[in-house]
Amino acid sequence: MSRAFVKESEGEWLGDVAPEVAALERFLTREEGEKIYEVRTEKEASGREVHEMSNGNRYALDMDQRWQKVA
């Protein structure tokens, strides 16, 4: 399918989202169809910040500053 017929948000993946919590919230809100917001942040022993979101999932930035879902 030509990109001309793809909505702007349809081509975006979690790893494409800017490395900012506000950008993650906007992406998740678009994906879920309801407002998703950060519930809390915790810092792992490694220093990585893990963000728990209102959808019950946890997300963190990897070494390349790309969002990933954390188990």
Mean pLDDT of the chain: 89
Note whether residue 45 is domain-resident. yes
Note whether residue 67 is domain-resident. yes
Share of the chain above pLDDT 90, in %: 82
Note whether residue 23 is domain-resident. no
Residue 18 has pLDDT above 60, yes or no: yes
Integer CA distances (angstroms), 39 to 15, 27, 59, 66, in order: 21, 16, 11, 20
pLDDT grade for 7, boundaries at 50, 70 and 90: very low
Per-residue tokens: 53: 């979101």
- Please state the pTM of the whole predicted model: 0.82
Domain of 48? 38-71
In the chain, the number of structural domains is 1
Handedness of CA 44, 64, 2, 27 (dihedral sign): positive
Residue-level pLDDT at 10:
61
Residue-level pLDDT at 71:
86
Note whether residue 69 is domain-resident. yes
Note whether residue 10 is domain-resident. no
